[in-house]
C-alpha cells in the first residue's frame, strides 16, 4: 500500500542574511527589503518525504499558507518531485500566530483525506518557534516526533527515527500516522529537476471551492498537474474566528531594535606592550587566574 505523505512548507524572509537596508531607521525590519526564500528546514522535510516515496511508493502533497506569492515555494516543491500542492490563501488567514496557523493547516490536511505521514521543517527562520508542527499533530490527534535528525526505517505501518536531544539521541518508533519535524542534519535536499522545472515553470493557480477529488493526485493516473489548487477558509471548512488575527491569542506589544553595547569600551593597540598591559589588568581583576 503506497504511503500518503503531507509536507508543510513556508515562504520566509531570509533573516539569516539581513543587510543594512533591511533595517528601517526606527529599528524595525523592512520585510520588503529581504528576499523571500523557501524555509531551509522545510526543504529537508520535503527531501525526507521524497526519499520515503522513492523507497515505498506513494504521493507527496505540499501545503503552504500565505499570500498568492507564496505559491513560488509550491512550484519549488513540484520541481523537486512533489505530486500535488495546495495554497491556503485568504485575507482571513493574515496575522496568524502559531495556534491559528496550525488550526488552518490542520483543517486543510483533514480535507485532503487519510494520510500516513506529515513532515514539517523543525522551525521557520522568521519566527524560530518550532510550534506549528506539534500543534498540527495535536489538532489531528496523532503522535509527533520533533527534532528528527534521521529517519532510520519506515514501513507501511511503522516508522523509526532518531531524535536529537541535549544529552544525545533517542531512537523512537511509532505506528502511523505520525507527524515529524525534520532538522537540517537529516539530509541534503536534492536540486530541482530541470525537466520538472520546465513542465511547471508557468503553472498557474486556481481557486477551488468544490469537493476534493482524491483521484486528482493519483500519480501516473492524471499526469502532471494543470494548476496549483488554492483554498480559502470556506473551502477547508475552517471557522474564520479561529484563523488569522482573530484566532491568535498572542499579540505583539512592541518591537525594538537590538542594541547591544558594552558599558565601557576601549581600543587596545595591537602591540606587545599594550596587549601585555591588558593581560596584566585582567589578572589584577581576577578575570584571569
Partner 1 sequence: MTEAKNVMVFIEADRGRVADVSLELVCEAGRLAERLGGTVEAAAMGYGMTEALADLGRYGCRRVYYTEDRRLERFASVPYAKITADIIRRRTPKVVLFGASTTGRDVAPRVASILRCGLTADCTELDIGDYRFKDRQWEDVLLQIRPAFGGNIVATIVSPESVPSMATVREGVMRLIESDPEARAEVLREAVSLGGDDFPTEIIEVIEQERCVDLKSARIIVAAGVGASDPESLKLVRQLARLLGGVVGASRPVVDACVLPRDHQVGQTGTTVRPNLYVACGISGQIQHRAGMAESKRIIAINRDPDAPIFDVAHYGIVGDVREVIPRMIKAYKVRGTL
**Residues in 196-225 at the binding interface with partner 1, rule: CB under 8 A:** none
Exactly one of 25, 114, 220, 250 binds partner 1 (CB under 8 A); that residue is: 250
Assess 258 for contact with partner 1 (CB under 8 A).
Answer: yes
Q: How far is the CB of 68 from partner 1 (least distance, A)?
A: 23
Figure out which of the listed residues 35, 113, 138, 227 binds partner 1, where binding follows CB under 8 A: 138
Task: Give the DSSP per-residue string, 31-59.
Answer: GGGSPEEE-HHHHHHHHHHHHHHHHH-EE
Pairwise CA distance, residues 85 & 9, whole Å: 10
Answer yes or no whether residue 16 interacts with partner 1 by CB under 8 A: yes
Burial track 75-98 (b if 16+ CB lie within 10 A, e otherwise): bbbbbbbbbbbbbbbbebbeebbb
Q: Are the C-beta atoms of residues 119 and 42 closer than 8 Å to each other?
A: no
State how far Cα 30 lies from the chain centre. 21
Q: Which helix H or strand E contains 94, and what residues bound it? A: none
Contact positions with partner 1 (CB under 8 A) in 76-105: 97-99, 102
**For helices 71-80 and 40-56, what crossing angle results, to 10°?**
40
Chosen residue from 172, 197, 199, 222 binding partner 1 by CB under 8 A: 172
CA atoms of 147 and 167, how far apart (whole Å):
13
Q: In terms of CB distance, is 40 or 219 closer to partner 1?
A: 40
Selected binder of partner 1 within 146, 187, 232, 235 (CB under 8 A): 146
Task: Point out which span in 52-60, 86-94, 232-240, 277-285 binds partner 1 (CB under 8 A).
Answer: 277-285
Shortest distance, position 163 Cβ to partner 1, whole Å:
8
Residues 19-38 close enough to bind partner 1 by CB under 8 A: 22-23, 27-29
Amino acid at each position: 500500500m503506497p504511503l500518503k505523505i503531507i509536507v508543510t512548507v513556508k515562504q520566509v524572509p531570509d533573516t539569516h542574511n539581513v543587510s543594512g537596508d533591511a533595517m528601517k531607521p526606527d529599528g524595525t525590519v523592512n520585510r520588503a527589503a529581504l528576499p523571500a526564500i523557501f524555509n531551509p528546514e522545510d526543504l529537508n522535510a520535503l527531501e525526507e518525504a521524497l526519499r520515503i516515496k522513492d523507497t515505498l511508493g506513494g504521493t507527496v502533497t505540499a501545503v503552504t499558507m500565505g499570500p498568492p506569492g507564496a505559491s513560488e515555494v509550491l512550484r519549488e516543491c513540484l520541481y523537486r518531485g512533489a505530486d500535488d500542492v495546495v495554497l491556503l490563501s485568504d485575507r482571513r488567514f493574515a496575522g496568524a500566530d502559531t495556534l491559528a496557523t496550525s488550526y488552518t493547516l490542520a483543517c486543510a490536511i483533514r480535507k485532503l483525506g487519510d494520510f500516513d505521514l506529515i513532515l514539517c521543517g523543525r522551525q521557520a527562520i522568521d519566527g524560530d518557534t518550532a510550534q506549528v508542527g506539534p500543534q498540527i499533530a495535536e489538532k489531528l490527534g496523532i503522535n509527533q516526533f520533533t527534532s528528527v535528525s534521521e529517519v532510520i526505517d519506515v514501513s507501511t505501518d511503522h516508522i523509526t527515527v532518531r531524535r536529537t536531544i541535549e544529552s544525545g539521541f533517542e531512537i523512537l518508533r511509532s505506528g502511523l500516522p505520525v507527524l515529524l519535524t525534520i532538522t537540517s542534519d537529516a539530509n541534503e535536499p536534492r536540486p530541482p529537476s530541470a525537466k520538472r522545472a520546465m513542465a511547471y515553470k508557468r503553472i498557474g493557480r486556481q481557486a477551488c471551492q468544490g469537493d476534493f477529488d482524491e483521484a486528482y493526485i493519483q500519480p501516473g493516473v492524471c499526469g502532471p498537474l494543470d494548476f496549483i489548487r488554492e483554498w480559502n477558509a470556506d473551502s477547508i471548512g475552517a471557522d474564520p474566528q479561529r484563523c488569522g488575527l482573530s484566532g491568535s491569542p498572542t499579540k505583539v506589544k512592541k518591537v525594538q531594535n537590538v542594541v547591544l553595547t558594552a558599558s565601557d569600551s576601549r581600543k587596545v593597540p595591537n602591540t606587545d606592550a599594550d596587549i601585555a598591559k591588558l593581560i596584566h589588568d585582567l589578572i589584577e581583576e581576577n578575570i584571569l587566574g
